[in-house]
Amino acid sequence: MTTRELRVTISDRGPTAVIHLAGEIDRAADELLGRAYDDATRGGARAVVLNFEHVEYINSTGIALLVGLLAQARGQSVRISACGLSDHYRDIFEITRLADFMTIADSEDGAVAGAGASTDA
């Protein structure tokens, strides 16, 4: 059982939705993460930033959840960007090639600015 359950808040930054994540991304996060993405895109956002600044832990199941989210976004032509990754998780996103399918920025402002840019990933 997760001791640091995922918590999510969503904010709008113009045409971009920002999903602020806190806690752990693991099997228990599946439903909440999917609902957050659905809520963020329901209003027509064509870009979503995942802010990992307060994420404490991501396990392999959490990585698989993110892969599924990226596949869903790609199928809907929604661009995904990420920010707030620790050096450790930035390395993991590079190793697992998640970084090939999303823009990774150093800050939320950078991610929002980059979210409007067209990508061919």
For the residues 94-101, what does the mean pLDDT come to? Answer: 95
Residue 72 belongs to some domain of the structure: yes
Residue 120 belongs to some domain of the structure: no
Residue 2 belongs to some domain of the structure: no
pLDDT digits (tens, 9 = 90+) for 28-42: 999 999 999 999 999
pLDDT tier, 14 (very low <50, low <70, confident <90, very high otherwise)? confident
How many domains does one find in the chain? 1
CA-wise closest residue to 97 among 62, 61, 121, 72? 121
Question: Given the structure tokens 């599946």, which residue do they identify?
Answer: 30
pLDDT tier, 115 (very low <50, low <70, confident <90, very high otherwise)? confident
- Give me the domain span that covers residue 27: 7-114
CATH number of the CATH domain containing 67: 3.30.750.24
For the residues 15-19, what does the mean pLDDT come to? Answer: 96
In angstroms, rounded to a whole number, what is the distance separating the alpha carbons of residues 33 and 37?
Answer: 6
Residue 119 belongs to some domain of the structure: no
pLDDT tier, 117 (very low <50, low <70, confident <90, very high otherwise)? low
With H, G, I as helix, E, B as strand and everything else as coil, classify residue 106: coil
Residue 109 belongs to some domain of the structure: yes
pLDDT of residue 4: 86
Q: Does pLDDT of 63 surpass 50? A: yes
Q: Is the pTM of this model over 0.85?
A: yes
